[in-house]
Amino acid sequence: MSQNPLENQLSKAVIEAVEKEYGATLETVEFQATRKDFEGDITVVVFPMLRTIKGNPVQIGETIGSYLQQQVEMVSKYNVVKGFLNLVLSDTYYLDFFGSVSDFSTYGADTEKDGAVMVEYSSPNTNKPLHLGHIRNILLGDSVANIVEAAGQKVYRTQIINDRGIHICKSMVAWKKFGHGETPIETGKKGDKLVGDYYVKFDKVYKEQIAELKAEGKSEEEAKAEAPILQEAQETLRKWEAGDADTVALWEQMNGWVYEGFDVTYKNLGVSFDKLYYESDTYLLGKNIIEEGLKKGVFFKKEDGSVWCDLTDEGLDEKLVLRSDGTAVYMTQDLGTAVQRVEDHPDVTGMIYTVGNEQDYHFKVLFLILKKLGYSWADNLFHLSYGMVDLPSGKMKSREGTVVDADDLVEEMEKTAGSIAEELGKIDDLSEDEKSRLYHMIGLGALKYYILKVDPKKRILFNPEESVDFQGNTGPFIQYTYARIQSILRKAEEEKGSENVAENSSLHEKEKELLKQLQLFPETIQQAAENYSPALLANYTYDLVKEFNSFYQNVSILGADTDAEREFRVKLADAVAKVIKTAFNLLGIQVPDRM
């Protein structure tokens, strides 16, 4: 990972110091943040230098520190603790940095890099509404797309909608049998919820039929296979694949209801896509690729006619890519879809797949096969693997109707945010419409932040009440700080002092800490993009807000001793607010001007 500009500058100076004082050449210099109990802004780690310079690490630190203090303007003081050289940077250095940023509202964004990245997320089944598990997927994918874009990469946002298969046919059969022709308009239900109800209904009837067959003496396995409702679903799938007009018409109608429902949820969550792919279109893709792969020797045929890829040299096993009857498996489809995406978007040089960690092995195999097939972009494929979301009440099951519906959850979050905001009592003069927008912003911000602040690989126990707390590492706490800064800026505008204010020349310790944190923002965006981890950005923002609140409690902004100090502190508060807003935008979270 590249060093930040400060480390680059100091690296050159340290290498020069070692060259002058010891006649030796250092390849790299290792830095770390100075520990809180020592004075300093950045620390040079001396121990790795002992491979190049022989001597006592404390003495080496003293020699380099002395050289830097004399020769490098930004280094005002130093101290050595064992093998650690702690450097104190001058106020001028931080003031120069602050003055060098012309606009903090665009600060942190990088210049555009070559090529584009496609980010896939959401990718739901069309037999049920989106739920809490989908929410983690959607929020991760959306935020990673934003962050990668801010780091300078062109991004295409996409999803593949799983709109075919036995699960869809189950909802269709149940609706035909028990729905009496009802529609979302008649029932007043969102289409995805209506279709989801019939998926649950199918499972209920299926279980009843299994119990009846077992009571007649059938084994569990026989009962499951012979249940009439399942056989109807299987027949519906066969008819769909054969292109039966009535079956396809019902499939289109019910999927249409679901898409309308999904669109409402996506709008509610504030996410969108550039390109949609449908499994009903892509499931036949990939067969030509298999033919090509057979010619190249990437795949081989078994006696029964099935096609496989041998990955044993890579420590994996043999993978089926085409069944003996010539029908596709998921791998066939995913190979075809990946190639199709690059054909549709020729500037794509890599893809990020946001899919749960139960698919880790599948993606390992997919990426390996694409590399073996010789696609240049296959080196830049990444599985954004994430852990499941649990609730205090336990795991969710779609078939049994025990999932937490995404729309219901957002609505619940809004209600909770509203009741807490009412208690704080600072919004009495807002209209009902303004309050409603504010509660949506706080509730959704709480949900998104709670999920995104956790490393994607970790499992989450989602606690709605905890997420809406206005204290601690939460979205509302950060939104509240942003609103507080807006209030300060409004007052500052009302009490504007003289126009010609002298430049501030020295810094309070709390101002310096805040500037240090602001300076890390561009680097944090790059790290979050390189690691595909919104958690790095979320926790950076929390640290920035903690520093601001410490500054706010220890230093008077509007009551500063001089006009120069007041002006500087107002500008500093404004810069912090702009960085909070940018960071939260990248997480897909809005910030309110009042709270």
Q: Distance between CA atoms of 411 and 28, rounded to whole angstroms?
A: 53
Count Cα atoms within 13 angstroms, Cβ side, for 80.
18
> Partners of 157 in the beta sheet?
119
Q: Distance between CA atoms of 104 and 98, rounded to whole angstroms?
A: 9
Please give the pLDDT value at position 2: 47
Q: Distance between CA atoms of 505 and 568, rounded to whole angstroms?
A: 10
Residues 6+ positions from 499 with CB-CB distance below 8 Å = none
Q: Is the dihedral of CA 549, 550, 551, 553 positive or negative?
A: positive
Helix (H) or strand (E) holding 25: none
> Partners of 125 in the beta sheet?
162
Q: Distance between CA atoms of 444 and 139, rounded to whole angstroms?
A: 11
Please give the pLDDT value at position 498: 53
CB atoms within 10 A of CB 151: 22
Count Cα atoms within 13 angstroms, Cβ side, for 502.
5
Please give the pLDDT value at position 133: 86
Contact 200, 401 (CB under 8 A): yes
The string over 566-575, giving b where at least 16 C-beta atoms fall within 10 Å of a residue's C-beta and e elsewhere, is bbbbbbbbbb
Please give the pLDDT value at position 4: 79
Token digits of residue 563: 């006009």
Please give the pLDDT value at position 430: 87
Q: Distance between CA atoms of 301 and 311, rounded to whole angstroms?
A: 14
Rama region for 76: left / alpha / beta (φ>0; ψ in -120 to 50; rest): alpha
pLDDT along the chain (595 residues), means of 10: 77 97 95 94 96 95 97 96 96 95 92 92 93 93 98 97 94 97 96 96 97 96 96 96 96 97 95 95 90 95 96 94 90 95 97 97 97 96 94 56 79 89 79 92 96 95 86 94 96 74 77 96 96 98 98 96 93 98 98 91
Please give the pLDDT value at position 502: 54
Residues 6+ positions from 412 with CB-CB distance below 8 Å = 443, 464
Cα–Cα separations (whole angstroms), residue 429 to 217, 479, 484:
70, 19, 17
Cα–Cα separations (whole angstroms), residue 255 to 168, 262, 275, 336:
9, 10, 18, 23
Count Cα atoms within 13 angstroms, Cβ side, for 187.
15
Please name the residue that has the structure tokens 């496609």: 118
Please give the pLDDT value at position 448: 97
555 class by beta-carbon count within 10 Å (0-12 exposed, 13-18 middle, 19+ buried) = middle
The terminus-to-terminus CA distance of the chain in angstroms comes to 39
5-89: CATH topology: Gyrase A; domain 2 (3.30.1360)
